[in-house]
């Protein structure tokens, strides 16, 4: 049970913003929301995580809904190198991560 | 800075042979350590995790085992490999169980 729901796939044009949605309607108050991405034949790479407030780092932004039942990973300008499978994970104290099938992002030149 | 090493990168083994995959972490103490498996085209499945030396928790019953003989060393083993053990094996570490995990480059295991 991945405990999160993501679209199977999305497409974006190069240099356009990408909004990757994730639903986690059963999230508890102490669960963090984590995002990872996995390029072909590589291990997953940490992207960003947050609890309640929106978060920004050099890779992406994470927008968390006020009720925390959903979140959106934002890539501000997609590049071809951003083509990957993106995983949204909720992780709480004492709970291990469950990686679901994720969203396969294709970036078109 | 912290680094994680996994080896070998690829491995081809016959059915029934033993297995030993090693993972080491540098630059941190008492990390949480994890072994995942990813079948072709599928998501990651957590196999084992460890919060300390000699402490191993198994998530999925199978013919694999894990050991943590040193603080920053995590080993995945099997006495007799099955065809179904083929896959991409990933080691990861984190500071705490709910904090970001950092993955190695993985071992692609093919069973013949």
List, as ranges, residues 67-86 from B with C-beta within 8 Å of A: none
- Write the pLDDT tens digit of every residue in B60-94: 868 999 999 999 999 999 999 999 999 999 999 99
Chain A contacts of B58, Cβ < 8 Å? Answer: none
Contact A87 B106 (CB under 8 A): no
Contact A95 B98 (CB under 8 A): yes
Chain A contacts of B98, Cβ < 8 Å? Answer: 30-32, 91-95
Contact B98 A2 (CB under 8 A): no
- For position A41, what pLDDT does the model report? 85
Closest Cα in chain A to B48: A96
- Write the pLDDT tens digit of every residue in A37-64: 999 889 999 999 999 989 999 999 999 9
Nearby residues of B97 by Cβ (< 8 Å), 6 or more positions away:
A91, A93, A94, A95, A96, B32, B49, B51
Contact A96 B97 (CB under 8 A): yes
**Residue B42 contacts A where some CB pair is shorter than 8 Å:** yes
Each residue's pLDDT, cut to its tens digit, for chain A (109 residues) gives: 668 999 999 999 999 999 999 999 888 888 899 999 999 889 999 999 999 989 999 999 999 999 999 999 999 999 999 999 999 998 876 677 888 899 999 999 9
Do strands B107-111 and B10-13 pair parallel, antiparallel, or not at all (unpaired)? parallel
Measure the CA–CA gap between B74 and B52, rounded to whole angstroms: 10
Contact B103 A34 (CB under 8 A): no
Q: What is the 3-state secondary structure (H, E, C) of chain B?
A: CCEEEEECCEEEECCCCCEEEEEEEECCCCCEEEEEEECCCCCEEEEEEEEECCEEEECCCCCEEEEEEECCEEEEEECCCCHHHCEEEEEEEECCCCCCCEECCCEEEEEC
Distance from CA of B101 to the nearest CA of A (A): 7
Distance from CA of A46 to the nearest CA of B (A): 7
Q: Which of B43, B46, B90 sits opposite A43 (nearest CB)?
A: B90
């Amino acid at each position: 049970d991945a405990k999160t729901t993501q679209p199977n796939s999305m497409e974006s044009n190069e240099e356009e913003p990408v909004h990757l949605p994730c639903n986690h309607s059963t999230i508890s108050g102490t669960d963090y929301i984590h995002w990872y991405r996995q390029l072909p034949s590589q291990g997953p790479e940490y992207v960003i995580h947050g609890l309640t407030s929106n978060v920004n780092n050099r890779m992406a932004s994470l927008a968390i809904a006020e009720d925390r039942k959903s979140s959106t990973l934002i890539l501000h300008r997609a590049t071809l190198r951003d083509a990957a499978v993106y995983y949204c994970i909720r992780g709480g104290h004492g709970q291990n991560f469950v990686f679901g099938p994720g969203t396969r992002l294709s970036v078109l030149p | 800075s912290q680094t994680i090493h996994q080896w070998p990168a690829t491995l081809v083994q016959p059915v029934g042979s033993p297995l030993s995959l090693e993972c080491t972490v540098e630059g941190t103490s008492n990390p949480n350590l994890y072994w995942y498996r990813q079948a072709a085209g599928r998501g990651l499945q957590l196999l084992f995790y460890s919060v300390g030396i000699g402490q191993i928790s198994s998530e999925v019953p199978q013919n694999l085992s894990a050991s943590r003989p040193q603080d920053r060393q995590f080993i995945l083993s099997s006495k007799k490999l099955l065809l179904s053990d083929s896959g991409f094996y990933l080691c990861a570490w984190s500071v705490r169980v709910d904090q970001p995990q950092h993955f190695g480059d993985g071992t692609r295991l093919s069973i013949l």
